[in-house]
Structures are given as structure tokens and as C-alpha cells.
């Protein structure tokens, strides 16, 4: 799987948009970009994933650059409950489809 690079921590004000970057410069054409988050003492929670196009769901938006070498997860209106570690994962197709977690970004939403 391609490696990802994320900032170790970020802060965001409550009610503002949180934009979490991820670099994956060695991504291959059949690899998906996934985002999960882990709130303290809980299991990871799926947020969103995409291949080439931008994606949006009820939780967040995923913006993937045209060259697919980086992406941004957007939480449009961050709340205190969005404080968590956010993991950006690049996932291969074929037989090597396992999720490999990096260190992620600790997002702290401040009142």
C-alpha cells in the first residue's frame, strides 16, 4: 500500500470547518483513499472513501487532487464531539486489500 503523511495534530474552533490534509504521493491507480477516526477509548469509525472523484456524505467531504497525490477531509461544522484521531489510509485492490493504519492526526476542536 502507498504510504500516507499527515500532520500529527491540528486545532479547530467549534462551528468552523476542519480541513485535514493527507499526502499520498506514491498512490497507484487502483488504490482508494479512506478516512477513519478514533474517538478516545472507542473503536475506529468509518468516515468516507474515494478513488478519483470528490465524495460527500452526511459526515464529511473528501477532496482528492487531480493527480491523486493528496487529499483533504473536510468536516464542515466541527463540534466538540469531532475531537479524535483521524486516519488517512490508502488501500490497494486485489489480494492486498488490508487496512494499514498510520499515526493519524489528532484533531482538537476547541470551544
Catalog residues that contact another protein under the rule CB under 8 A.
30-32, 34, 36, 41-46, 49, 51, 87, 91-94, 97-104
Q: Which is nearer to another protein, 14 or 59 (by Cβ)?
A: 59
Smallest gap from residue 23 Cβ to another protein (A): 17
87: its cell numbers: 486516519
3-state helix, strand, coil in the chain (%, to 5): 5, 45, 50
Smallest gap from residue 19 Cβ to another protein (A): 22
DSSP state of 103: -
Smallest gap from residue 39 Cβ to another protein (A): 11
Amino acid at each position: 500500500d502507498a504510504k500516507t503523511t499527515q500532520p500529527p495534530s491540528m486545532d479547530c474552533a467549534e462551528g468552523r470547518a476542519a480541513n485535514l490534509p493527507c499526502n499520498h504521493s506514491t498512490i497507484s491507480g487502483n488504490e482508494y483513499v479512506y478516512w477513519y477516526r478514533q474517538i478516545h477509548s472507542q473503536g475506529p469509525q468509518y468516515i468516507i472513501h474515494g478513488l478519483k472523484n470528490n465524495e460527500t456524505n452526511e459526515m464529511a467531504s473528501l477532496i482528492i487532487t487531480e493527480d491523486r497525490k493528496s487529499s483533504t477531509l473536510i468536516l464542515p461544522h466541527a463540534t466538540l464531539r469531532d475531537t479524535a484521531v483521524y486516519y488517512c489510509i490508502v488501500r490497494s485492490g486485489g489480494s492486498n486489500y488490508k487496512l494499514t493504519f498510520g499515526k493519524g492526526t489528532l484533531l482538537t476542536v476547541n470551544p
